């Protein structure tokens, strides 16, 4: 497995509001993932860190979102086969995450 892809998304919401928005979006995202023919295991919170697993193209993509007071740190582990998409994944996470956590 390749080195994890890490994206830090700054915010001014505070930890609780950022976590609430992420939790809400994960629920909505699950429906979109399933419509796209992918699979998603139930995301699990451990304190302020959310762990998730998505199945794509016969591969497993796992990651975490650690919510802090002023930043959400997204770490995604892409299998080697999907590593060629890492730049696009990074860009999508930064853009969509920034929109979600905008004040």
> Which domains are present in the chain?
5-100 (3.30.160)
Between residues 42 and 35, which one has the greater pLDDT?
Answer: 42
Paired tokens of 41? 């295991």
Note the pTM of the prediction, 2 decimals: 0.88
pLDDT tens digits along 29-39:
777 777 777 88
User: In this structure, how many other beta carbons lie within 10 angstroms of the beta carbon of residue 98?
Assistant: 14
- Percentage of the chain surpassing pLDDT 70? 98
- Does residue 50 carry a pLDDT above 70? yes
User: What is the maximum span of the chain, computed from C-alpha positions, in angstroms?
Assistant: 37
- In this predicted structure, the answer to whether residue 1 has a pLDDT above a threshold of 60 is no
């Amino acid at each position: 497995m390749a080195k994890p892809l890490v994206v830090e998304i700054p915010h001014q919401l505070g930890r609780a509001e950022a976590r609430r928005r992420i939790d809400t979006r994960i629920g909505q995202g699950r429906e979109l993932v399933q419509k796209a023919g992918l699979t998603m295991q139930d995301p699990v919170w451990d304190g302020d860190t959310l762990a998730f697993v998505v199945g794509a193209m016969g591969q497993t993509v796992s990651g975490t979102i650690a919510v802090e007071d002023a930043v959400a740190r997204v770490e995604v582990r892409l299998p080697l086969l999907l590593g060629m998409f890492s730049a696009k994944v990074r860009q999508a996470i930064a853009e969509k995450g920034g929109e979600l956590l905008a004040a």
